[in-house]
Amino acid sequence: MMREGGAGLVLVVRHPETEANAARRYVGASESPYTPLGASQAAELAALIAAWCPDRIYTSPRERALAVAHAAAGSAIPLTVLDGIAEIDFGCAEQMTAGEMQAAGLSLDYPGLPGLDGTTVCGESWASFEQRVSEAGERFAAHAGRTAVVAHGGVVRVLMMSWLGLDARAAFRLAVTNGVGALFGFEDGYARLLAFGPAELLCTV
C-alpha cells in the first residue's frame, strides 16, 4: 500500500464532462455546467474517490472539479481548494472552438499543440502554468498516505510530465478525457506511474 517511510500514493483525475467540453470549446478560467453525462460521471467519480479512502483531497477552485471533491470528501476527509491546480487561463480564447480562434486570428503558444497559429497569442503562458502546477505537484508528492487530486486535463498532463521527467512537448500526446487520470506511487522522492486510465480502474489499485 506504500504507506510507510514517507511514501505515498497520489491519484489525480480530470473532472466530469461539461457543456464546453462536449462542444470542444476551450474553457479554463471560466465555468461551464455539466452535461447530463457529466452529472452522472460526477456522482460516480465522487463515490470512487471516497471508496479509495484518501487521507486528503485537493481540488481546483473551478466548480466542475470542486463539486466532485466536496461530494467525495463529505465531512470526514480534509479538503483543500488550491488555486495552483486551476486550469490554464485561455484569456481572450475562453469559450471559443479551435475554428473560431483561427477565424479571429488567435493562437495559444503551448508546446506540442498543433494547428493554432494566429497572430495574436491569448491567455496564460505555458511556462507560468507549468510552474504553478509543478509547485503544487511537489506538495502532493511530499505527503505520506493517500492523496486525491481533482483537477483538469491540462493539470493532469503537467503533473505527469513533471513527475516522469518528460519534455513538455509530449503533454498533448496524452488523451486525458473526462474522468481519466493517473495514479502515482512516491518513495524517497522517486515517482512511479502505477496506472493511467479511467478512474474506475485507478481506484482499484
Burial of 121 by CB count in 10 Å (0-12 exposed, 13-18 middle, 19+ buried)? middle
Question: What CA–CA distance (Å, rounded) separates 173 from 131?
Answer: 20
Parse the chain into domains and list their residue ranges: 8-24+36-88+125-202
Cell of 5: 517511510
| pLDDT higher at 122 or 146 | 146
| Range 8-24+36-88+125-202: architecture per CATH | 3-Layer(aba) Sandwich (3.40)
The residue count for the chain: 205
The answer to whether residues 106 and 113 touch, using CB atoms and an 8 Å cutoff, is: no
**Share of residues in the chain with pLDDT > 90 (%):** 73
The C-alpha cell that represents 40 in the structure block: 452522472
Q: Report pTM.
A: 0.92
| pLDDT interval class at 187 (50, 70, 90) | confident
pLDDT digits (tens, 9 = 90+) for 69-104: 999 999 999 999 999 999 999 999 999 998 998 898
Given a cut of 60, whether residue 6 has pLDDT beyond it is no
Residue with cell string 473532472: 15
- The HSE-up count of residue 58 (CA atoms within 13 Å, CB side) is 23
Do 84 and 134 contact (CB within 8 A), yes or no? Answer: no
27-37: per-residue pLDDT in tens?
A: 999 999 999 99
Nearest to 133 by CA among 167, 160, 170: 160
String of DSSP letters for the chain = ---STT-EEEEEEEPPPBHHHHTTB--SSS--PBPHHHHHHHHHHHHHHHHT--SEEEE-SSHHHHHHHHHHHTTTS-EEE-GGGSPP--GGGTT-BHHHHHHTTEE---TT--S---SEE-SS-HHHHHHHHHHHHHHHHT-SEEEEEEE-HHHHHHHHHHHHT--GGGGGGS---TTEEEEEEEETTEEEEEEEEEHHHHTT-
| Least confident segment among 44-58, 109-123, 132-146 | 109-123
Residue 190's contacts (CB-CB under 8 Å, 6 or more residues apart) are none
Q: What is the pLDDT of residue 162?
A: 93
Kindly report the number of other CB atoms within 10 A of residue 126's CB atom.
19
